[in-house]
Amino acid sequence: MNEEINWAEVIDALPWPSMEPDGESGLEGAIKGRFLKNMQFSMNRCLAPGDDCRNQTILAHTVQNARTLQLLQRNGHVKTFRPGLDEKGRLALDIEDIGRNKATTFEGFCSNHDTQLFVPIDTLPLDEPSAEQLFLLAYRAVAREVHAQMSGAMRLQQAFREGVEAGRFSKDQPSVAGLLPVRHMLIAYEGYKYKFDLDQALISRNYSSLHHKVLYLRDTLPSIAASSCFTVPEWTRDLARVSLNLLPLSTDTSIAIFSYTPAHEEAAKSMLGRVFEAEGHLQKYLLSKLVLARCENMVIAPDSFDTWTTDQIDVMKRYFSETTSDYFDREDSRLYLFRN
């Protein structure tokens, strides 16, 4: 068995950002301490506010199963996009069937907290979402993203440790293999700090700490669902984030909800202004491109997938791979995910 990772050593060695010019503030130190405590345990631990829950986590849905996935499924299955590597080691995308009970799940919360926290969005209609429902949809997308970032950082560090033990990497000399876990650790920490702020808002029921842009997509058959949190490229003031929940509401209406902090509203509008202002087919086309570029956590209705040509699927796969760079974009009418 491999030696247990000493996360204290890993974290202390990172070039931590400071909240104050003259050094680490008390709040920053407290957040780093909580982050360290999380990284000392396996990532099948509950991420409920406070980080104190030790209950076993479950495969919790980020997209509601009984209502939303029911509208998309066929014979209990939906289609999902699965990132991977091709034969040359390049990022690639596969599309595969997945049972609706496993679709959009992650091990981020225990059964008790998943039920308690998300009752308003798992049991009540979202046709006219309340401030609480809007907040919780964004919060769950953020929690999934943070869980994925922390899990990824742990796996990379473990792989590097195994490489050192096998003699493939040097423990003392800088290398790409050694710097990659550090980079992902910093990304995970920034995400954890963002979730920490939302934790405090959730505890105090301060739902106005997030602003939202809600778009209704009328005359749209159930086609796609997505729940994701992504950063705004080229926004240098701080690491601006936007959560997107794209959900079918009925057999002819879907909803797209963008959520961001007031401090990041300008960044969100700068990135997404065209989507916000467009209408009809153009708006759904722009949303399709955004989902393919930014949302790994998505599912497709099999009935929609059946309408896509082989050529269209290949174009979507290439676009997904190409847009891993924030600076790439192109127009192509085949990048359209909806079924009208």
Last residue of a domain, one of 189, 208, 227: 208
DSSP string, 182-239: HHHHHHHHHHHHHHHHHHHHHHTT-GGGSEEEEEEEES-BS-EEEEEEEEPTT--SS-
Count up the domains in the chain and report the number: 2
Domain end, chosen from 147, 176, 208, is at 208
Q: Give the largest CA-CA distance in the chain.
A: 60
Neighbours of 176 (CB within 10 A): 8
pLDDT digits (tens, 9 = 90+) for 58-84: 999 999 988 899 999 999 999 998 877
Strand order, beta sheet including 224-231: 91-99, 77-85, 298-300, 224-231, 241-248, 253-260, 211-218
DSSP label of 263:
G
pTM: 0.85
pLDDT for residue 25 is more than 60: no
Q: What CA–CA distance (Å, rounded) separates 26 from 20? A: 10
Percent of the chain at pLDDT > 90 equals 59
132 in the same domain as 19: yes
Q: Confirm whether 51 is domain-assigned.
A: yes
Q: How far, CA to CA in Å, does 311 sit from each of 79, 92, 308, 323, 334?
A: 18, 16, 8, 18, 8
Locus of tokens 């080691």: 89
The residue range of the domain holding 93 is 65-103+210-322
Q: Which of 155, 176, 208 is the last residue of a domain?
A: 208
Residue type at 254?
S
Q: Looking at the structure, do residues 119 and 184 belong to the same domain, yes or no?
A: yes
- Per-residue pLDDT, averaged over 75-101, amounts to 82
pLDDT in tens, 284-326: 999 999 999 999 899 999 999 999 999 999 999 888 877 765 5
Same-domain status, 134 and 51: yes
Claim to verify: residue 57 and residue 115 sit in the same structural domain: yes
